[in-house]
Amino acid sequence: MSYETDIARIETIVVELERSEVPLDDALRLFEEGIERLRTASAALMQAEARVRKLIEDSDGGFTLADFES
């Protein structure tokens, strides 16, 4: 699954959980799925950040290792 798919599903889960008529067992199942999707999405973001850190192009066309926020 992709990051975008995980985020879309998390958003759907939030909407479902906000409904007051969700039975407790279903709410717990949705919450567990949401946590798992959040972990997967977070890992994807960390991988993307690591890739950005690896190569950042210099103004002269070269590449250097740099932090994501620099």
How large is the C-alpha radius of gyration of the chain?
A: 18
Output the tens digit of pLDDT for each of the chain's 70 residues: 799 999 999 999 999 999 879 999 999 999 999 999 999 999 999 998 887 777 666 666 676 666 655 4
| pLDDT at res. 49 | 83
pTM of the model: 0.71
With tokens 């890992």, the residue in question is 43
CA distance 56 to 59: 10
| pLDDT at res. 50 | 80
| pLDDT at res. 16 | 95
| pLDDT at res. 33 | 97
